[in-house]
Amino acid sequence: MAEAQPTESAPERRPTRPFDEERLLRAETQEQAAANSKDDAQELAFQALEAHGHAEARALATEALERDPDCIDALNALANSEGKGPEEAAQRMQEVAVKAEKALGPDFIRDNKGHLWDCVEARPYLRSRMILASLLARSGKLKEALPHFQALLRFTEGDPQGVRYHLARCYASMGQTKPLQKLLGAWESDPGPVWAYLTVLLKLRLKEDKSALKALERARTLNPHVEGFLTGTIQLPKPSPQAAAPGSPEEAAAALHFLAPAWTADREAMYWLFKVGKEHRG
């Protein structure tokens, strides 16, 4: 969709791209020198990661690798877009993640553990581990994905990559109640619907129905649409490029991505949600 043309009274406003913040960080840390081939390759790699289609991503990543064969983000984009499915893509990403880890070195990772994301040179490695773990999870290989998510959560305080949502989904889908309870407790101040509805599910698995009902009441105040999406009683909204507002159907649809695998696999929990939801609507 074409951007609106600027007018004299309203300057052009471009949407922030996913990697603009990192572009600025890299520019601030670089010496006052002309851009070299590695800088050019990194910019092309960012564009590849931001691309909306696999063909565009592959073309940009290939061009980036022509300028810098060791550009990890270009390899990330290429591996993630070339596979015929998540399992094949995961095999390719495994090689990239290993290469990225060797490039940083174990000493660097150990010395910067806890704030690795703050080291801009480490971000391509962290992205490779995240993409790999996500592909493994999509392939149904949750046991293989789990240690990657666990490591990524330890690497940087504050969880800038949002790893906790993927890890919580793994725990919930695998029926690992104790680790899920510990993780939810560690991030209990999380204000989003994913955490709220996973808390409901946890209470049900702990056979704490009264606590589950109380947790559901709170979850409904955060976003009333999630319950309807989970039970299929209301339709999902059409995809939107705009950022989802708190409490909106769009936020609920995004939350469903993390919640559905764990909730829908638990028949008792779903039956409870249908029953309580019917009573609530009645």
Measured CA distances, 71 to 65, 78, 102, 199, 238 (Å): 6, 11, 13, 40, 36
pLDDT per position as a tens digit, 164-193:
999 999 999 999 999 999 999 999 999 999
Say what the pLDDT of residue 1 is. 33
What token pair was written down for 221? 């105040």
Q: Which residues of the chain have pLDDT under 70?
A: 1-15, 30-35, 83, 280-282
Q: Which helix (H) or strand (E) holds 58?
A: helix 54-67
**Coil, strand or helix at 4:** coil
Say what the pLDDT of residue 4 is. 38
CB 100 within 8 A of CB 81: no
User: What is the C-alpha to C-alpha distance for residues 45 and 259, in angstroms, rounded to an integer?
Assistant: 31
* Nearest Cα to Cα of residue 178 among 138, 217, 206, 150: 206
Which DSSP letter does residue 83 get? -
Say what the pLDDT of residue 81 is. 87
Say what the pLDDT of residue 117 is. 97
What token pair was written down for 241? 């490029």
